[in-house]
Amino acid sequence: MKRVMFVCKKNSRRSQMAEGFARTLGADKISVSSSGLESSHVDPKSVDIMSEIGIDISNQASKPLSDFNPEDYDAVISLCGCGVNLPEAWVLRDVFEDWQLDDPEGQSIETFRRVRDEVKERVVKLIESLSSP
């Protein structure tokens, strides 16, 4: 089973959504964590828009990347273009992608939903690519 780390600046919105989708849609295919270059809190709007589609992320917590070991992961996905700020060991995993999705912080609920749907689309493709032989 491939191990995936989703990383973002604050581990508050996009990476939390990705973790929620990956846990739900990739349950038997991948194991997943998320973190931030710094930790903060899980944005309540993110919790709300994920619950709209039946995924509960209310028990997820924001964690700093420094709490994790890069060697424990096969794939690292940056959701905010922060790949350039990651320590080299994280960028050199078997799979590294920098998705550069918009940060919905301070935006309308429609923007949160659009970003959520973009995250879901990418996570689905990622699960397919990592779980194919």
pLDDT in tens, 54-70: 999 999 999 999 999 99
| Res. 79: pLDDT tops 90 | yes
**95 in helix, strand or coil?**
strand
Cα dihedral across residues 123, 124, 129, 133: positive or negative: positive
Is 82 among the residues known to form the active site? no
Domain count, the chain: 1
Expressed as residue numbers, the domain containing 65 is: 2-131
- CATH code (residue 65): 3.40.50.2300
Q: Which of 32, 42, 79, 80 is catalytic?
A: 80
Q: Which of 8, 75, 115, 127 is catalytic?
A: 8
pLDDT in tens, 22-54: 999 999 999 999 999 998 999 999 999 999 999
Cα dihedral across residues 121, 122, 123, 126: positive or negative: positive
State the Cα–Cα distance between residues 52 and 75, nearest whole angstrom. 28
The secondary structure of 29-72 as a DSSP string is: TEEEEEEESS-----HHHHHHHHTTT---TT----BGGGS-GGG
Q: Which residue's structure tokens are 């989703």?
A: 6
